[in-house]
Structure 1
Amino acid sequence: MYPILLYNIFVIGGLFCGFITFLLLFFKGNNLFQNRLLSIVVFACAWYALQHTLTVTGWLADLPHFWRMGSPLYYLVPPCYFFYTRATLLGENAFRKRDWLHFIPAAVHFLELMPFYLKSTAEKRQIVLYFMEDFNRSYVLGSGYIPALWHYAVRPFFGLAYLLFLLWPILIRYRRRSHPQQVVTAGKYAWLVAFASFMTVMYSGLAVQTVFALQHLDVPNAAVTESRAPLYVMSLTFLGMVCYLLFYQEIFYVQESLSPASPAEENEAATEACVNEEQPAVKEKRIGKELLVIYAATIDTFMLQHKPFMRQGITVSELALEMGMQPRTLSGVLNQHYQQRFSDFINAYRIAHIKSCLETGKWKEFTLEGLAYQCGFTSRSTFFAAFKKDTGLSPTEYIKKIGKSAPAAN
C-alpha cells in the first residue's frame, strides 16, 4: 500500500508541477525559442502522467477523446530535447534548414491516427472501456493504420537513439573545447548534463517497462501491476526534473541583458591571446615589395573564400599549411604588409564577418554571443575587447548605430 501511495504522489506531483513549468517556459523569458523547445518536452511528459492518472482512476471512460490524443507528442520529445540542447550550447534562436526532417515521425503518426480522431464519442468510449478491462490491450488495440504494438516497441528506443547518438555527443564535444563556458555559464551547462541524465533515466525506464509488458501480454494488467519499478523511476525522475526547473528559474527564464564587457573582462581580454591557444614564435621572413603584394592578395582571397578565421584555436602554422605557405613567410606578410599580429589579423576578419551579419540581419538565428562563438571567438570578454578595438564601439552601441534591434544575449 505504501509504495502505491508513494507512486501516486510522484505521478500527481509531476503532473501538477509539470504543467506549471510548461506555462512558465512557454510564455516567460527573452529567449522563447529555447524555452519553448524545452516546454514541449515537459508538456509531453506531463501529458503522459495525465494519461496514466486518467487510466488508473477510470476517469478516461468519461473523457474518451483524451485516449491517443497525445500519442504524436512522444515522437516530438527526442528532436525537441536535442534541438533545445544544441540551441542552448550554440546560442541559436531558430531552426536550421533541414531540422524539419526530425519531425516527420510525429507528423506521420498524427496522420495515421486520423481515423480514430474522427470517430464519434460513443465509439471512442467503447474502445476505451474495452482497453480498461485489461491495460495490456493498449499494446495490441489498433487505433490507426500502423499497429499500436509497433509504436510501443519503437518509441523508447527512438528516444534512446537521440540521446546516445546526438544529445550526449554534442555535450561531450562542447565540453572538450578550450573554453566551454563562453556561450553558456557553468551552471547552465551543469543543467544540460542533468537534463540529459534525466531523459536517459526516463527513456531507459520506459524501455524496460515496455520490454517487460510485451513479454507478459498474456498476464492481465501486467503492464501496470507487474512492472511498477520502472514506473516509479520514471515518475520520480520527472518530478525531480520539473522541481529543478521551478526552483532554479533564474537559469532558464531570466536572460542576461546585453551589456558591455566589464573592466575585469576587458583586463582579462587584454592579457589573453585573442585565439584559443598561445601561438608559437615563428621567425619572420623578409619579403620584397612586389612579392609582398602578391602574397597579400592570395591571403585575402583564401580568407574570404574558405573563412578559416571561423575555426577556434587556429594557429599561424595551421593557416600557413592550409595555404601551402611556410609559417615564417605568412608571419612576414602579416607583419610587413598588414602590420598586425596573427591574433589581430584573424580577429579583424571575425569582426568584419560579424558586422556583415549584423547589418544584413543574418544574426537573427543566433544570440549575439552565439554569433561571436560561431565566428571563432572563445570568450565573451575577448569578443567585446576585439569588437571595441576594431570599431571604437561596444556591440550594443554598434547595433544602435546601424539601427537594428539587438539579439537576445544568452
Structure 2
Amino acid sequence: MLAAIFFILSWYAFFQPQRVYGLLASYPFILRMGVPFYYLIPPFVFWYTRIKFWNKQPKGRYLIAHLLLFFIGILDISWYYIRDYHRLHDIALGVAQNFGNLFTTAEGFLPAATHYIIRPVQGCIYCICSCYLCYSAYRLGKFKTLSLPVCAWIVFFNLIMAAIYFMLFHITIIDPPEDFPVAGYYQGRGAASFMVFLFCLLGAALFFYPSIIYGRKNNI
C-alpha cells in the first residue's frame, strides 16, 4: 500500500515536467490518466495507518464507499478518452501551450475544475481521521507493538501528508488566486516548492533509514 502511494506520487512528479516543458502533445494519452488514481492516496494513507496499528483490512461495502471517488474518476476519464486520437492530440497540444485550456477542452462528463476542488477536501478529511488513528493508537498503547523507528515513521508520514493536503485546501478553497481554476495551485510557486520539499523529506526518511522498510520484525 505504501508502494502504491509512492507510485502515484511518482506519476504526479512525472506528469508535471511534461506539462511545464510542453511535452503533453507528444503523449496525449497521459493528460488525464492520473485523475482517478490521485483519489486513492488519502484512503491508502488511512488504511496503511489502520493496518499498521490495528491490523484491520478494509472490507465489504466500506471498501466501495472509500473508493467511490476513484470510480467516479474512472468514469470521468473514460468519457474523455472516447474521443479519437486526433482530437486528444489537439486537446493535449492546446493544454501544452496554455494550461488553462485543460479546464475548457479536456473535460470528461464533469468539469475538470471539479477534481481540483474535491481532492483537497477529500485529503483533509482522511488526514484528520488518519492523524486521529495515530493519537488513538498512542493512547491505547499500540505504539508498544511496533518498533520506535516504525512508529516515528507512521506519525511523520501522516503529518507530512496532512501538511500537503491542508496547504492544497488553503490555496484552492480558502485563498484561491483570482483566476482559479485556470491558475489553481500551479501558480503558487512558494507553495509548490514547499510541497516538493515535503515529498523529498518522505523519500529521504526511507533512504536514510531503510530499516523502516526492511526491518526483520516490522516491515512497512
Pairwise same-fold verdict (TM > 0.5) = yes
| Deviation string, structure 1 residues 18-73 (Cα, Å, up to 9, x no partner) | xxxxxxxxxxxxxxxxxxx1112111211111111110011111111110001101
Provide the rounded CA distance (Å) in 1 between the counterparts of 2:217 and 2:189: 43
Deviation for aligned residue 1:214: 5.3
The reply to whether residue 215 of structure 1 matches residue 157 of structure 2 is no
Equivalent residue, structure 2, for 1:391 = none
Deviation for aligned residue 1:86: 0.4
Deviation for aligned residue 1:101: 2.0
Provide the rounded CA distance (Å) in 2 between the counterparts of 1:49 and 1:137: 21
Query: In the alignment, is the contact (CA less than 8 A) between 2:76 and 2:110 conserved in 1?
Result: yes
Write out the 4+ residue segments of structure 1 that deviate beyond 6 Å after TM superposition.
none
Equivalent residue, structure 2, for 1:188 = 150
What RMSD over aligned residues (CA atoms) do the two structures have, in Å?
2.3
Query: In the alignment, is the contact (CA less than 8 A) between 2:53 and 2:143 conserved in 1?
Result: no
The reply to whether residue 160 of structure 1 matches residue 124 of structure 2 is yes
User: What is the aligned length?
Assistant: 218
What residue identity is the alignment partner of 2:111? P
Query: In the alignment, is the contact (CA less than 8 A) between 1:136 and 1:217 conserved in 2?
Result: no
The reply to whether residue 109 of structure 1 matches residue 109 of structure 2 is no
The reply to whether residue 239 of structure 1 matches residue 196 of structure 2 is no
If the length of structure 1 is used for normalisation, what is the TM-score?
0.49
Query: In the alignment, is the contact (CA less than 8 A) between 2:18 and 2:24 conserved in 1?
Result: yes
Provide the rounded CA distance (Å) in 2 between the counterparts of 1:210 and 1:140: 18
Query: In the alignment, is the contact (CA less than 8 A) between 2:100 and 2:183 conserved in 1?
Result: yes
Deviation for aligned residue 1:159: 0.3
Equivalent residue, structure 2, for 1:382 = none
Q: How does 1:345-384 map to 2 (within 5 A)?
A: none
Provide the rounded CA distance (Å) in 2 between the counterparts of 1:210 and 1:48: 18
Provide the rounded CA distance (Å) in 1 between the counterparts of 2:5 and 2:136: 23
Query: In the alignment, is the contact (CA less than 8 A) between 1:136 and 1:223 conserved in 2?
Result: no
Out of 119, 129, 134, which is 1:171 matched to? 134
Deviation for aligned residue 1:238: 0.6
Out of 2, 23, 33, which is 1:59 matched to? 23
Q: Helix, strand or coil for the counterpart of 1:215? A: coil
Larger Rg: 1
| Alignment CA distance shift 1:119-1:140 (3 Å) | closer
What residue identity is the alignment partner of 2:178? Q
| Deviation string, structure 1 residues 119-148 (Cα, Å, up to 9, x no partner) | 233211111122233223334444211111
Equivalent residue, structure 2, for 1:70 = 34
Provide the rounded CA distance (Å) in 2 between the counterparts of 1:193 and 1:152: 27
Provide the rounded CA distance (Å) in 2 between the counterparts of 1:222 and 1:78: 20
Equivalent residue, structure 2, for 1:297 = none
| Deviation string, structure 1 residues 251-300 (Cα, Å, up to 9, x no partner) | 1233429xxxxxxxxxxxxxxxxxxxxxxxxxxxxxxxxxxxxxxxxxxx
| Alignment CA distance shift 1:90-1:185 (3 Å) | same
Equivalent residue, structure 2, for 1:252 = 213
Query: In the alignment, is the contact (CA less than 8 A) between 2:37 and 2:70 conserved in 1?
Result: yes
Equivalent residue, structure 2, for 1:47 = 11
Equivalent residue, structure 1, for 2:47 = 83
Q: How does 1:320-339 map to 2 (within 5 A)?
A: none
Q: Helix, strand or coil for the counterpart of 2:40? A: helix
| Alignment CA distance shift 1:59-1:159 (3 Å) | same
The reply to whether residue 206 of structure 1 matches residue 155 of structure 2 is no
Query: In the alignment, is the contact (CA less than 8 A) between 1:65 and 1:124 conserved in 2?
Result: yes
- Percent pairwise identity: 25
Provide the rounded CA distance (Å) in 2 between the counterparts of 1:209 and 1:133: 24
What residue identity is the alignment partner of 2:73? H
Provide the rounded CA distance (Å) in 2 between the counterparts of 1:223 and 1:120: 30
Q: How does 1:299-314 map to 2 (within 5 A)?
A: none
Q: How does 1:31-46 map to 2 (within 5 A)?
A: 37-46=1-10
| Deviation string, structure 1 residues 221-252 (Cα, Å, up to 9, x no partner) | 6753x410110011110111012112222212
If the length of structure 2 is used for normalisation, what is the TM-score?
0.88
What residue identity is the alignment partner of 2:158? A
Query: In the alignment, is the contact (CA less than 8 A) between 1:90 and 1:183 conserved in 2?
Result: no
| Deviation string, structure 1 residues 343-378 (Cα, Å, up to 9, x no partner) | xxxxxxxxxxxxxxxxxxxxxxxxxxxxxxxxxxxx
